[in-house]
Each structure stands twice: as structure tokens, then as C-alpha cells.
Amino acid sequence: MPLTVPVLRVLESCRGQRTTGPLILRPLSGKPVDRRDVYRMVIRIARAAAIPRHISPHSLRHAAITNALDAGVPLRDAQILARHADPRTTEHYDRARGNLDRHGVHFLTAYVAGV
């Protein structure tokens, strides 16, 4: 998966001067983080942000896919981002799928008309 420049900068700061070994380590023990650590980190950050509902790593994944679709990322590209085998799974994340203004017929008409 490609890394954007802001993400790359954060990962480089996590790496520090190290050139080998796991990228992200637990601050106190220096051991690699596992999925439970990530879950706890997300919960802690959500509480600090005073988010009143339950937030999990899957919530962040859901938000990323939904926001990508809201931003106009084509379904196929969002499907690849989500690593969904079936595009119908990705379609469930599209809040605007019933919006007729975004219906494919508009794009097809513009393409055929040469606009």
C-alpha cells in the first residue's frame, strides 16, 4: 500500500535512529505492538478526544472507506483500499449510493457527448 508523505513522516519519527527491527514499539518495554495494543491506543485516543461512542480500529477502517467514497474515490479504488474481494461489500460503506446526482448515467452521457 502506498504511503502518503504525512504518514511516512510519522513512521520515520517512530523509527528514530533504528535501521532494523519492528517499526512501532511499546514506549515502556520497547516490544513490538500487537493488535490488542492498537485497540487500547484507539480507545485511549477516543476518550481523550471526548468521543462519546465506542471507537475501535474497525471504526477507523470504516471511516476511511466511507470518507474515501464521499470524497469521490471510484468504487473499484475504494474496494482495493478496503481489500474487499467483492465490490458489493464496499458498496455498503457508500452513504450516497442512492443519490441520483451521482448516478453513472450522468458520467456516461457526458462521455458519449464528448464533454
Domain boundaries, the chain: 56-113
Model confidence over 45-72: pLDDT tens digits?
Answer: 999 999 999 999 999 999 999 999 988 8
d(CA 115, CA 101): 17
pLDDT above 80 (res 115): no
d(CA 55, CA 43): 6
pLDDT of 68: 92
d(CA 15, CA 22): 8
d(CA 107, CA 85): 25
* Cα Rg of the chain (Å, integer): 19
Q: What angle do CA 33, 1, 23 make, to 5 degrees?
A: 25
Whole-prediction pTM value?
0.68
